[in-house]
Amino acid sequence: MSAASDRQLKTTLWGQWREDIASVFERDPAARTTLEVLTTYPGVHALMFHRISHRLWQRGWRYSARFLSFGARLLSNVDIHPGATIGARFFIDHGAGVVIGETAVIGNDVTLYHGVTLGGTSWKKGKRHPTLGNGVMVGAGAKILGNITLGDHSRVGANSVVVEDVPPACTVVGIPGKVVRLRPAGELNPYGIDLDHHLIPDPVGKAISCLLSRIDTLEARLDQRDAAERYAQCDVSNEICEKDCPGGQAARGQEALAR
């Protein structure tokens, strides 16, 4: 490796690290100082090591790359394969139990929370892990499996399992993950990311509510039909009132005789 290419690699690496650290302050209100982020954020540690191991992987130093990523896993409890491609300003909040597979591709300004898995569903070599577009946010414990694509600015609810492509700017929740309609996006930070990931709809609750409303409507219709059928065979007769009721025909006849 020439001295010029080494300087270029070093400059690029430092530039990525600076962007990664700066993005933490925009997405985590608990971050206070650069020193704090550098020394106490396992997600940042894992990403910094990955920036190096990925370069080693690209240059064919496969064992060195794997050994470095193994050391990063011991330190941070975040398992990122050195073959994974990760864009700028990537942030793993709380950095625990995150797994990112070899052929995963992650765009710019992506946020993952703890317990997220970007896994494969096949033992065959080749592209077998997810692709995440720019500005994607994945909630805690979510599993995104297989060679699928999540469009730009899509969001995945906590503990969801996503196994199909997701269109851009959509929200996925549930097991298996389903695209749901979402309220308008919340306040965006300078990176254009909506961090209100807890404000997601409840598709199951909505479906149950719709079913209950439909049942009420059908029961009301059945009550009306039963009433109509119940009185359909009744013969209308005013005979009793004509004979016995005050003001009836019999009473009026007696009054006439009295006159």
Report the b/e string of 37-71 with b at 16+ CB within 10 A. beeebbbbbbbbbbbbbbebbeeeeeeebbebbee
3-class secondary-structure state, position 34: helix
Question: What pLDDT, on the 0 to 100 scale, is given for residue 213?
Answer: 82
Q: How many of the other CB atoms lie within 10 Å of CB of 204?
A: 11
Q: Report the CATH number of the 3-199 domain.
A: 2.160.10.10
Domain segments of the chain as ranges? 3-199, 207-258
Distance CA 74, CA 144 (A): 23
Instruction: Give, rounded to a whole angstrom, the gap between the first and last alpha carbons of the chain.
Output: 133
Question: What pLDDT, on the 0 to 100 scale, is given for residue 66?
Answer: 92
Question: What pLDDT, on the 0 to 100 scale, is given for residue 236?
Answer: 53
Mean pLDDT of the chain: 79
Distance CA 99, CA 79 (A): 5
What pLDDT digit, counting tens, does each position of 93-145 carry? 888 889 998 899 999 989 999 899 998 887 888 889 999 999 899 988 899 99
